[in-house]
Structure formats: structure tokens, C-alpha cells
């Protein structure tokens, strides 16, 4: 009897695993932005601290998902769904701020101030458009990740941690 000795195959690259890395890196970037603007968040009071705390929790969940710990899959699905629900509210808030900043110039303002305000409004339109496009892409990303982590073929990758005997 001859035995075929096949070399062990490397595990297939999983797109959802890469997506978790992207989510982790994005969350770390956002957390860095929160920490840079700590003073502005202090002025907002308790509400100002909710976003960085939620983002830190998302970082912990992403790390657990990369370690493939069993509780991370449903937790990341819940976090992805919450993020998808949060994005429209944040977009609405940004649109209201934009409307406030795009107010018509007051009569009697110096012409240099009017020119600067017109220039800022053009830049604001561009930034707002890019931000809304990014929010749509992020919604699609989080929806896909939530759906993908819910599939039965992903579940075997997550396992309970074994207690070490020591």
C-alpha cells in the first residue's frame, strides 16, 4: 500500500479576516483623532466621551476577532450593525453643521472676509462630498462584514480559548 504524502496546505486567505484588519486600523486611526482633539470633547461633556469609548471597545473586539476568540464574532457583528445605524446620524449632524457654516454673508462685512468665506465654502462643499462618500463606503463595508461573519462557513474559524495547565 502506498501512501501519498501531500504537503500540508496553507489556509486560504479569508477576505473577512483582511476586513477585520482594515476595521482595526481604521478604528485606531479614529481613536488617534479623538485623542488629538481631547479639548473639544471635554467641552461636549459626557456625550463627547461616548464616541472614543465606543471606538476603543471596537478596537478590543477587532483584536479578539483577529485572535479568533469565540465571543468576538457575535460582538463584531453587533458592533458592525451599531456602526451602520450610527453613520446616518453622524452624517445628519455634519449636514446641520455645514448648513450653519454656509450661512449667507452679513451685509457690511469687509470684502476680504467675504472672499475668505466664499473660498472656505467651496472647500467645505468638497470636504462634505468626500465625507459623505466615505460614509457610504463605510456603511457598505460594515454591512458586508456583518453579513459575512454571520455565515456558517466562518463560524469554525472561531474557537474557545483553552485554559493552559500550569
Looking at the domain assignment, is residue 81 inside a domain?
yes
Nearest C-alpha neighbor of 78 from the set 114, 54, 99, 107 = 54
The total of structural domains in the chain comes to 1
What's the pLDDT band for 106 if we cut at 50, 70, 90?
A: low
pTM over 0.85: no
Looking at the domain assignment, is residue 5 inside a domain?
no
How far apart are the C-alpha atoms of 104 and 112, rounded to whole Å? 15
The answer to whether residue 80 scores a pLDDT higher than 90 is: yes
Number of neighbouring beta carbons within 10 Å of residue 32: 11
pLDDT digits (tens, 9 = 90+) for 81-101: 998 998 888 888 778 877 776
- Report residue 156: phi and psi, to 5°: -65, -20
User: What SS3 class is residue 9?
Assistant: coil
Number of neighbouring beta carbons within 10 Å of residue 11: 8
pLDDT digits (tens, 9 = 90+) for 27-48: 888 888 877 777 666 666 666 6
Once rounded to an integer, what is the mean pLDDT over residues 111-140?
A: 78
- 159 - beta bridge partners? 69
Looking at the domain assignment, is residue 71 inside a domain?
yes
Number of neighbouring beta carbons within 10 Å of residue 9: 6
Q: Give the N- to C-terminal CA distance of the chain in Å, as an integer.
A: 43
Look-up of cell digits 463595508: 141
The answer to whether residue 144 scores a pLDDT higher than 90 is: yes
How far apart are the C-alpha atoms of 115 and 155, rounded to whole Å? 58
Looking at the domain assignment, is residue 146 inside a domain?
yes
Q: What is the pLDDT of residue 4?
A: 59
Looking at the domain assignment, is residue 143 inside a domain?
yes
Looking at the domain assignment, is residue 3 inside a domain?
no
Task: For the chain, give the longest Cα–Cα distance.
Answer: 98
In the chain, beta strands by DSSP E:
none
Looking at the domain assignment, is residue 13 inside a domain?
no
Q: What is the pLDDT of residue 79?
A: 93
- Domain span at residue 79? 22-38+49-102+111-153
Looking at the domain assignment, is residue 124 inside a domain?
yes
- Average pLDDT over all residues of the chain: 80
- Contact of 22 with 138, CB cutoff 8 Å: no
Q: What is the pLDDT of residue 94?
A: 78
How far apart are the C-alpha atoms of 159 and 43, rounded to whole Å? 43
Amino acid at each position: 500500500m502506498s501512501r501519498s504524502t501531500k504537503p500540508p496546505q496553507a489556509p486560504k486567505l479569508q477576505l473577512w479576516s483582511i476586513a477585520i484588519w482594515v476595521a482595526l486600523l481604521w478604528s485606531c486611526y479614529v481613536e488617534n483623532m479623538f485623542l488629538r482633539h481631547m479639548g473639544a470633547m471635554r467641552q461636549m461633556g459626557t456625550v463627547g466621551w461616548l464616541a472614543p469609548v465606543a471606538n476603543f471597545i471596537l478596537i478590543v473586539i477587532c483584536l479578539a476577532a483577529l485572535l479568533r476568540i469565540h465571543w468576538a464574532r457575535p460582538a463584531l457583528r453587533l458592533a458592525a450593525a451599531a456602526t451602520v445605524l450610527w453613520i446616518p446620524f453622524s452624517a445628519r449632524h455634519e449636514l446641520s453643521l455645514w448648513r450653519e457654516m454656509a450661512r449667507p454673508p452679513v451685509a457690511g462685512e469687509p470684502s476680504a472676509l467675504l472672499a475668505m468665506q466664499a473660498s472656505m465654502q467651496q472647500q467645505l462643499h468638497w470636504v462634505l462630498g468626500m465625507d459623505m462618500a466615505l460614509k457610504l463606503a463605510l456603511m457598505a463595508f460594515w454591512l458586508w462584514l456583518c453579513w459575512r461573519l454571520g455565515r456558517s462557513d466562518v463560524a469554525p474559524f472561531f474557537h474557545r480559548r483553552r485554559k493552559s495547565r500550569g
